[in-house]
Structure 1
């Protein structure tokens, strides 16, 4: 199963987990399974129509899925997904 790394800002919604093994063969399947197991993550990761939230980046083995096949990007058992919400700030 692919590994999903959860950043500190999302760990509360993921039950405090730093990483999880999630079943799926595409990024979309993995995110769907992740949000089914941890519903509080859904609004953080996906829009109301089920597309990837523009304020979160998802990387598979270091490559941004927006430059691959987005939610249709294939993943295998040895792959690692990193969820990285955009941070705002400044002054």
Structure 2
């Protein structure tokens, strides 16, 4: 299943400056694996060493935060838009 992945500015060094790329997979985990196959190292910036989403990275499938769905097992239907959004902190 082909999906569109929006890449935040901070990770665009991995995608040669592209703000949106295509990937495939039936789940978010499979999409991230495909992304990493195309853009080596990008998955390590989204997923930590234990295989979970990094604490300060938010991922949405459509308008839904995957942390409130099935995390990395969240289905990614054909044509879905996935957004990777780094959290912004400050005060």
Provide the TM-score with structure 2 as the length reference. Answer: 0.89
- Describe the superposition over 1:55-74 as per-residue Cα deviations: whole angstroms up to 9, x where unpaired: 10000111000000010011
Consecutive unaligned residues of structure 1, counting only runs of 5 or more, are none
Structure 2 matches for 1:19-58, cutoff 5 A?
19-58=20-59
Consecutive unaligned residues of structure 2, counting only runs of 5 or more, are none
Tell me which protein shows more strand as a share of its residues: 2
Match of 1:65 in 2: 66
What's the CA shift for 1:7? Answer: 1.5
Cα RMSD, aligned residues only: 1.2
Match of 1:83 in 2: 84
* Aligned-partner SS, 2:82: strand
Q: How many residues align?
A: 90
- Give, in whole Å, the separation in 1 of the partners of 2:89 and 2:40: 24
Tell me which protein shows more helix as a share of its residues: 1
